Structure formats: structure tokens, C-alpha cells
């Protein structure tokens, strides 16, 4: 694998190309490879059962990476990888990574397709905006309180000191430090001070994220350091600066890659190919040990539609069979808390991820994360329990496909009129940090329906 310095050299010496040309080339090459490998999306199989499909997608993804490389937005050059480098990464990827400390040490490990070992759980609102201060702490405590949750994924404070958080400003640096401190306080509040935090969510600039990584109240080495790759197969100096710092600090890099159905990747087939290529690139370029993959619909902005579920399942199966890389779906829903729809969207995401071999579950970005305070710990309870029930009860791909299709009929015609649901303050008791009866009743009814469908959630 090239050193980070060699990567930076390539960013300065690779082929020059205007960004638009790179985007259109990515589309052309993806389309060509989809055709060459005969990859086809089947609406009747949101969880595909064809055993050869994941391998075809995997080979197409490696071909795509060979021909495209990764684009550096600062230098307008492509960083290319050799066959040997790609091969080495796919064969020697880490198959187990540990987060957290002492009694809260948890290992994320590779899983097979239809694996009976439940996936690990990295639960939070995936960056949903939450009111700052006390509400933020209690909101994060609602995730820390869930017994199945092993690591806390950060939410974003909506403001800081009553002011908007401005990117690259001193307030962003302050917000990022507050975010980590508040989550640690939340974990302590529920008696789990050693839980790993995965962030940051409020500070995406290098200065803010680097400033928040320190052993004196900040993100520890044992926490997850979230570094996103730009859509589609792009990086930049800001991202690489975070990588440089995190490597020297000694933290585990959790990568996040988003690609869009309808975007440059094209349809569901192209989405699967590009999203399968991304973790390989992120391992080489960004030294990521764990990967969040968000195969998202351009119009619906969720991962719960049929096309996104299919792509997510294919990516998981492709890596589970070929690399053992530690992947999760970054689950995004259209609906918000305290609705039946959000639970059903979580169920399809979780069943698809679990049965297809994702190493861990991450989310839930409810109501597309853009609605302040629309995220609660119960969504993560749902994700954890559905994942555990799916794995422990040996649900097979074809059974999972039938179940997911039935659940899809409950919500897939509601994306345009999605229910945003209720805020955390409205559906949780803020003293006990427990869901209010209305939210619990909805969840209980959902569990019964899921049992009837063949997922024996307890």
C-alpha cells in the first residue's frame, strides 16, 4: 500500500482533468462495466439472491477503480492505484477492529452472508440536528441507554452558544469540542462512560475535527474518527489533512461514502458498483478501517427505497464474500420518530444489511436528518433488535427478500408525503429518558407485525 506521502505525490502528478470530465467519465465507465458484467437490478429482489451477482459487481468495482482512480479536488488530478495495491488491500483488509475502553470495549468483526452472529451496533442520529445543551445531552443519552448499542454515533448541535455554527469559524471549533464533551456526559449519565463515540458531526472542517481529537476530554484514540469521502470517488486536502492527523494521533478512521441513485453512478447497478469500489479506495487513500456506505436515492434522500436497498445488499455481499472489510449501511429514513413508517424503513435497512453480511449497523438518520430534534434512541433499539433477531434466527436471503418486499408495501408509496413525526422532546420523557407511551405503543405494534412476518423480534 502506498504511504500517505506517495498518495500526496500522486495528487500532484496524476493526470490533469477538469472535474466535469471526471464526473462524466465516471458515468461512462460505470455504465460500460455494468453492461460488460451483465449486472441487472431486479425490482422483485430488493435483496438479491443470485450468488454470482456480488462477485460480478466486485470485479466491476475493482475495474472501475483501476481505470478511474480517485479525483483530488484541489489539484484537479487523479490519484491512480496499481493492480498490486488494489489486490493487497482487498486481501489484507482488517477483519476486526476494536472501539471503546475497559468494560465498553467492542470489536467490530467481519460477517458472512446469512451469518448467525449479529452485527455490531453503532447507534445515533447520524448527524441529525439537535437543540444544543441539555436537550442534546439527553438526546444522546437516549442512544447510550440502549443496551444493544455498543458505540454512539454523534448528532449535530443545531446551534452553539445560541448562535449558528458557521463552517471554518472559531464557533465550529468550539461546537465540535462541546459535541464530544456532551456525548461523553450523556454516556456518563447512563453509567456507560467508556463507550466509544464516533464523530464529529458538527465540525466537518479539518481544523474543527483535528481540534476535537485529544485525550483531554476530546475524541480518544479508542473512539471512531469520522472522515467522509466526497461523492463520487473524490478527495481533497481538507480530508487528507484529517487523515494525516488521525494516523499520527493513532485513532481508528471510520469512513463515510455517499453515492446517489440517479447521480453520476447512474441506476441501482452503477450505484452498487461505485459503492463497492469506495471502501477499497478509502482504505488506500484515507486509511479507513471501518466503512459507512450510504447508497441513497437522489429524490427521496433515503436508503430505504427498493433501489437503495438492492444496492446496499449487493455491496455488503460483494465485500463479505471477497474482502471481509468492515462495512455498514448508513441508514437514512424519510419518516421521523413516533411513526410506523420510520420503524418499517429501519426494518428493511436492517434486515437487508444483516442478512447480506454487513459487519455492523449504523444509523439512524431519521427524517433525512434535516429536521431539528427529530431523532430518538428508540430508532436504534429497533435497529439493534431487528438485526439480532434476523441473525440469530438464521434468516436466509430469499426469506429476507420476501419479508422486505412485504414491509416495502407499507411505505414505498409514501415518500412524497412522508410523516416527519415528533421531536425528541415530544416523544420522550426528559426526566427518565424513556420513550413516552405513544412511541412505545407504536413500537410494540410494529414488533408484533414483524413477528407475524417471520422476524421473531423479542
Partner 1 sequence: MANEVIERMKSAIADGQADLAKEYASKALAEGLDPILIVEELTRTVREIGEKFSRLELFLSDLMGAGLAMREAIEVIKPSLVGKESKELKTAKVVLGTVTGDIHDIGKTVVGAMLIAAGYDVTDLGIDVLTTAFVEKAKEINASLIAASALMSTSMPYQKDLMRILSELKLRERFKVMIGGGATSQAWATEIMADGYAPDAVQAVKVANTLVGAK
Residue ranges binding partner 1 (CB under 8 A): 19-20, 23-24, 27-28, 31, 73, 129, 156, 158, 164-168, 172, 202-205, 230-231, 236, 238, 260-264, 266-267, 270, 298-299, 301, 368, 370
Least distance between partner 1 and beta carbon 337 (Å)? 19
DSSP string over 120-185: EEEEE-TT-EE-TTHHHHHHHHHHHT-TT--EEEP-EES-BTTB---TTSHHHHHHHHHHHHHHHH
DSSP string over 224-251: EEEEEEBTTTEE-HHHHHHHHHHHHHTP
Give the residue with the Cβ less far from partner 1, 166 or 396. 166
Dihedral, 87, 321, 283, 252 alpha carbons, nearest 10 = -140
Least distance between partner 1 and beta carbon 214 (Å)? 21
Give the residue with the Cβ less far from partner 1, 297 or 381. 297
Give the residue with the Cβ less far from partner 1, 130 or 352. 130
- For residue 255, give the H/E element and its range: strand 252-261
Give the residue with the Cβ less far from partner 1, 412 or 449. 412
Separation between Cα atoms, residue 306 and residue 309, nearest integer Å: 5
Separation between Cα atoms, residue 288 and residue 291, nearest integer Å: 7
Q: Is 146 exposed, middle or buried (0-12, 13-18, 19+ CB in 10 A)?
A: buried
First-residue to last-residue Cα distance in the chain: 45
Give the residue with the Cβ less far from partner 1, 6 or 161. 161
Give the residue with the Cβ less far from partner 1, 130 or 380. 130
Least distance between partner 1 and beta carbon 133 (Å)? 16
Least distance between partner 1 and beta carbon 274 (Å)? 12
Least distance between partner 1 and beta carbon 397 (Å)? 26
Least distance between partner 1 and beta carbon 108 (Å)? 27
Separation between Cα atoms, residue 71 and residue 230, nearest integer Å: 9
Amino acid at each position: 500500500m502506498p504511504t500517505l506521502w506517495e498518495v500526496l505525490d500522486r495528487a500532484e502528478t496524476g493526470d490533469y482533468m477538469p472535474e466535469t470530465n471526471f464526473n462524466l467519465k465516471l458515468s461512462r465507465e460505470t455504465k460500460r462495466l455494468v453492461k460488460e458484467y451483465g449486472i441487472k437490478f431486479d425490482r422483485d429482489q430488493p435483496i438479491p439472491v443470485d450468488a454470482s451477482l456480488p462477485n460480478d459487481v466486485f470485479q466491476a468495482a475493482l475495474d472501475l477503480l483501476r481505470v478511474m482512480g480517485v479525483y483530488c479536488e484541489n489539484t484537479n488530478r487523479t490519484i491512480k492505484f496499481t493492480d498490486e495495491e488494489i489486490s493487497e488491500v482487498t486481501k489484507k483488509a482488517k477483519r476486526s477492529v476494536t472501539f471503546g475502553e475497559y468494560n465498553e470495549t467492542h470489536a467490530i468483526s467481519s460477517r458472512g452472508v446469512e451469518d448467525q452472529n449479529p452485527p455490531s451496533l453503532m447507534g445515533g442520529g447520524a448527524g441529525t440536528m439537535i437543540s444544543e445543551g441539555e436537550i442534546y445531552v439527553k438526546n444522546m443519552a437516549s442512544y447510550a441507554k440502549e443496551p444493544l448499542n455498543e458505540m454512539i454515533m454523534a448528532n449535530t448541535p443545531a446551534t452553539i452558544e445560541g448562535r449558528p455554527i458557521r463552517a471554518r469559524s472559531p464557533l465550529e471549533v468550539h461546537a465540535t469540542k462541546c459535541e464530544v464533551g456532551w456525548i461523553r456526559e450523556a454516556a456518563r449519565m447512563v453509567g456507560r462512560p467508556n463507550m466509544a463515540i464516533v464523530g464529529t458531526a458538527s465540525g466537518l472542517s479539518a481544523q474543527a475535527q483535528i481540534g476535537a481529537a485529544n485525550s483531554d476530554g476530546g475524541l480518544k484514540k479508542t473512539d471512531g474518527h469520522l472522515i467522509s469521502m466526497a461523492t463520487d470517488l473524490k478527495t481533497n486536502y481538507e480530508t487528507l489533512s484529517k487523515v494525516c492527523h488521525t494516523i499520527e494521533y493513532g485513532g481508528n478512521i471510520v469512513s463515510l461514502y455517499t453515492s446517489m441513485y440517479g447521480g453520476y453512478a447512474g441506476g441501482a447497478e452503477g450505484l452498487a458498483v461505485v459503492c463497492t469500489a469506495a471502501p477499497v479506495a478509502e482504505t488506500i487513500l484515507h486509511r479507513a478501517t471501518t466503512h459507512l456506505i450510504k447508497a441513497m436515492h437522489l429524490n427521496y434522500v433515503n436508503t430505504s427505497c427498493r433501489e437503495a436497498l438492492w444496492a446496499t445488499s449487493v455491496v455488503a455481499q460483494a465485500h463479505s464474500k471477497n474482502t471481509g472489510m468492515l462495512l455498514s449501511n448508513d441508514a437514512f429514513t424519510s419518516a421521523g420518530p413516533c411513526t410506523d413508517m420510520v420503524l418499517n424503513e429501519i426494518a428493511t435497512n436492517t434486515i437487508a444489511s444483516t442478512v447480506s453480511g454487513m459487519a455492523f449497523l449504523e444509523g439512524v438518520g431519521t427524517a433525512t436528518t434535516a429536521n431539528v430534534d427529530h431523532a430518538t434512541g428508540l430508532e436504534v433499539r429497533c435497529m439493534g433488535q431487528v438485526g439480532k433477531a434476523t441473525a440469530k434466527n438464521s434468516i436466509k436471503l430469499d426469506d429476507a427478500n420476501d419479508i422486505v418486499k412485504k414491509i416495502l408495501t407499507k411505505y414505498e408509496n409514501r415518500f412524497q408525503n412522508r410523516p416527519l413525526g415528533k421531536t425528541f422532546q415530544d416523544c420522550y420523557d426528559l426526566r427518565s429518558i424513556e420513550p413516552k407511551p405513544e412511541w412505545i405503543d407504536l413500537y410494540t405494534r410494529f414488533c408484533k407485525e414483524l413477528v407475524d412476518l417471520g422476524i421473531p423480534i423479542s
